[in-house]
Structure formats: structure tokens, C-alpha cells
Amino acid sequence: MLSRIREVRKSQGLTLADVAARCDPPTTAQTIGRLETGMRTLSIDWLNRIAAALGVDSSQLVQLPDQQELPVAAVFGAKGAHAPEQEETMLVPAIGGRSIGMRMASSIGEYRQGDEVWLEQIEPEEFASALNLDVLVPRPGGRFLFARLLGREDGKLHLLPLEAGARQQIVSDPVWIAKAIRLIRKL
């Protein structure tokens, strides 16, 4: 198993110190550097802490033998597109056991017709992780509400539908919700 921590960290424009400060509890830049280079053993605990600090799934921080990769041909920065300074690859996203999808048949908010949205189902105790994100909420009769999660109070979710001029809605005690984690858009 090879670590991809450095690759993911750099793709987000973060320094070792940034990641160290985001860890819970915080650690040192030197420790993160040693974990990246393999000079210190990368345990599951460290993998999960760093993944949380980077805001990614822990599976994105390791390279597995059967994982597919895309070569990075260019990097777009402030001065435009340029070749990467060293060889880089991107992992093809892994589909987890709690992943579901939604196809956009109409445009709404920032989403366009034809977009595919990958979502991760989460249980009520995890709802706080979806605050200020777009979520899919099951409703009675096979319906769903796709909206921005504004807050949660006493088991009630405060949601803002994505339509222009929509009014806030409140949904009581959903069994699960799914937060948007990846947008797939054909050009």
C-alpha cells in the first residue's frame, strides 16, 4: 500500500503545517512529512485523521494495486495551463458501500441537465457533517427533496431548496440523508 497523502495535500494547495493544524488533535508538520514519506508507519488511525483534515475519504490517501489512475497532462494555475513539474496521476473515484447517484433531468441551481451527482448516504448521527452542503432527503411516497442543509434542531432539518426564490423547508426525523460528494459533468 502506497501513501498518496502528499499528492492529495498538494492538489489542495496545502502545506504540511496546514494539514498538521487541521488534524484532530493537531500534530506537527514534521509528523505529517514523515507519514507522507513512509519514515513513520501510517496506521489506520493516522490515515483517518489525515483524511478528515483534508476533507477526503481515507481510501483516497492510499494507492491500491487494482485502483485505476488517470495521468495528469496539465495543471491549471494563475498563469494558465502548464505541464506538471513531475509526473502526476489522479485516482479514478472509488464507489463506496454507501454511495448512491442522482441524474439531473433538469437544471437547478448550479446543476445542469445531464449532470450526475454522486452522494454518500449518512445516518442521523452524521448529519452535522453535511451542514451547508447539498443533500438528498427521502420523503414519503417515493419522493425526495434535493436542497442545501442549513441546520438541524430537535431532529428537524432546515433545508433550502435550490430553486431561485424557494422558501426554507423543514423535514422531521428522516431515517437517512445523502450528501453530494462528486459532480460528474460531460463537456
**pLDDT (tens digit, 0 to 9) for every residue of the chain, 187 residues total?**
578 898 888 888 899 999 999 999 999 999 999 999 888 988 889 999 999 999 888 877 887 666 667 787 888 778 888 888 878 777 666 666 788 899 999 899 899 999 999 899 999 998 998 999 999 999 888 889 999 999 999 889 999 999 888 899 999 989 999 999 888 898 8
Question: Given this model, what pLDDT does residue 65 score?
Answer: 63
Q: Where are the alpha helices (DSSP H) in the chain?
A: 5-11, 16-22, 29-37, 44-54
**Domain architecture of the chain: domains with CATH:** 2-91 (1.10.260.40), 99-184 (2.10.109.10)
pLDDT computed for residue 16 by the predictor: 95
**pTM of the complete model:** 0.61
Whole-angstrom distance, CA of residue 174 vs CA of residue 155: 8
Burial class (CB in 10 A: 0-12, 13-18, 19+), 16: buried
- What are the DSSP calls for 4-22, one per residue? -HHHHHHHTT--HHHHHHH
Sign of the CA dihedral running 28, 2, 94, 6: positive
